[in-house]
């Protein structure tokens, strides 16, 4: 039940991230701002996630993690409440920033709590369960926002998300055991609880590990390649494949369904052999993007390939998070840094995709750029896997955190 509570929190946070895309025209008209200004409600959120994931986790170092999760969801509720009540654009943007502050730390800290709730050999599947809420939100977010916004107005969407956040807050407070949400520190995933300053210092010390940085780099490159292509898929579908603009919505649902499948498969695979799963997923993602570029003019191929893009793209998520936290000795800051790395990758990938379109290379070009970025990520992941075979922390199954907890509980 604790995992379901975390998944519900992830669902609410995912809705907040994705729902705005379907509401931008309504918000722009309602607050009397330009489309470009309304776009900052998306980019401002993403930038806040990238910075806030590390800043909030560092600021709460050494504190019990269950109360932190409850506090983060309270922040989430407050941010969405501000959006629902916003009388003007600055208040709306502030609400988005407040809600975004909880995003990275919730998934970073929540992933450590999730894996404490299960036996060590199911660690990556537990993380996948928490992220299932995010993947389902990706499938439902845009159509949910558009439907509710069209029927009752865009503010009703944020009222609904506020209510979901409140339910998730209560569920986590009631269902997460105290032993699973203790204070976490370096080498102490089970939560023995050390002093805040010492814990922050030890968490920062964990970043001396080469495996941590290689895993963060592989995360950023994998995400950057996928989202660099995904950011322009609507143009690829309409300008290259020949779909109508009304077809884009169901095609994105196909992509989101792939995310759900990839999340489940990636969690199971990572618990069996994490590095092999990550290497296969990145190789599959690079191959999918390349073939997608070659066959972008074919409608049947585009439907199949956008599904595979979601599958291989998100299959890396559970394994990357358990890998980076194991390499860092179970510190929460590493898990949150992984979320920041993915958002940095998203921003850089989208920027590079835009550059090739502006250079006149066509709307299929971001697919090839994405394949190249993921290819570099595959090389980095191969280097990391080779290092783990030679004895560095980070490879194998996601068991370091779970082992620490088992030792504490016994």
Which tens digit of pLDDT belongs to each residue from 195-235? 344 466 777 887 889 999 999 999 999 989 998 888 788 88
Q: Express each pLDDT in 295-308 by its tens digit.
A: 999 999 999 999 99
Strand partners, 185: 188
Residue 399 confidence (pLDDT) above 50? no
User: How many CB atoms are located within 10 Å of the residue 307 CB?
Assistant: 20
Q: Look up the pTM and report it.
A: 0.78
Looking at residue 88, its pLDDT comes to 94
Buried b (16+ CB within 10 A) or exposed e, 232-245: bbbbbbbebbebee
CA-wise closest residue to 346 among 102, 53, 128, 98: 53
- Alpha carbon distance 400, 392 (integer Å): 13
- Cβ count within 10 A of residue 40: 15
CB contact burial 366-404 (16+ within 10 A = b; e otherwise): bbbbbbbbbbbbbebbbebbebbeeebbbbebbbbbbeb
Per the model's pLDDT, the better-predicted residue between 134 and 318 turns out to be 318
Residue that the structure tokens 């910075």 belong to: 51
Q: What is the pLDDT of residues 363-395, one digit of tens each?
A: 999 999 999 999 999 999 999 999 876 555 555
Domain range for residue 309?
Answer: 2-409
Domain count, the chain: 1
Looking up residue 370, the CATH number of its domain turns out to be 1.20.1250.20
Beta bridge pairs of residue 124: none
Tell me how far apart the terminal alpha carbons of the chain are, to the nearest angstrom: 22
CA distances 246 to 146, 155, 250, 268, Å, are 13, 24, 8, 35
pLDDT tier for residue 406 given thresholds of 50, 70 and 90: very low
DSSP at 118: S
How far is the C-alpha of 155 from the C-alpha of 91, rounded, in Å? Answer: 13
Distance CA 390, CA 397 (A): 15
């Amino acid at each position: 039940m604790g995992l379901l509570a975390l998944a519900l929190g992830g669902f609410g946070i995912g809705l907040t991230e994705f729902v705005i895309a379907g509401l931008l025209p309504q918000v722009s008209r309602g607050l009397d701002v330009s489309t470009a200004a309304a776009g900052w409600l998306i980019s401002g959120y993403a930038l806040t996630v990238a910075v806030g994931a590390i800043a909030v986790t560092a600021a709460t170092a050494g504190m019990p993690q269950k109360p932190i999760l409850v506090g983060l969801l309270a922040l989430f509720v407050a941010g969405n409440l501000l959006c629902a009540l916003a009388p003007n654009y600055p208040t709306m943007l502030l609400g988005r920033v407040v809600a975004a502050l909880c995003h990275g730390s919730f998934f970073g800290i929540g992933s450590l709590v999730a894996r404490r709730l299960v036996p060590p050999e199911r660690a990556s599947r537990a993380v996948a369960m928490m992220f299932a809420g995010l993947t389902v939100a990706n499938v439902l977010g845009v159509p949910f926002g558009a439907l509710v916004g069209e029927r009752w107005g865009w503010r009703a969407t944020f009222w609904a998300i506020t209510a979901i956040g409140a339910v998730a807050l209560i569920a986590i407070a009631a269902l997460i055991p105290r032993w699973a949400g203790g204070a976490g520190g370096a080498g102490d995933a089970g939560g023995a609880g050390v002093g805040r300053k010492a814990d922050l210092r030890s968490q920062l010390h964990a970043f001396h590990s080469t495996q941590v940085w290689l895993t963060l780099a592989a995360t950023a490159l994998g995400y950057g390649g996928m989202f660099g292509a995904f950011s322009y898929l609507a143009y690829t579908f309409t300008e290259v494949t020949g779909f109508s603009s009304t077809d884009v919505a169901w095609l994105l649902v196909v992509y989101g369904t792939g995310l759900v499948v990839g999340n489940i498969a990636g969690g199971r695979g990572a618990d069996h052999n994490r590095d092999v799963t990550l290497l296969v997923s990145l190789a599959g993602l690079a191959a999918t993007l390349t073939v997608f570029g070659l066959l972008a003019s074919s409608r049947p191929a585009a439907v199949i390939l956008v599904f595979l893009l979601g599958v291989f793209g998100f299959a890396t998520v559970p394994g990357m998070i358990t890998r980076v936290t194991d390499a860092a000795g179970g510190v929460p800051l590493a898990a949150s840094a992984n979320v920041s790395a993915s958002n940095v990758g998203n921003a850089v990938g989208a920027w590079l995709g835009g550059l090739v379109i502006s250079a006149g290379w066509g709307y299929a070009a971001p697919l090839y750029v994405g394949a190249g970025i993921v290819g570099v990520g595959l090389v980095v992941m191969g280097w990391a896997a080779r290092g783990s075979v030679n004895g560095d922390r980070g490879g194998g199954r996601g068991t370091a955190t779970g082992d620490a907890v088992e030792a504490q509980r016994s």
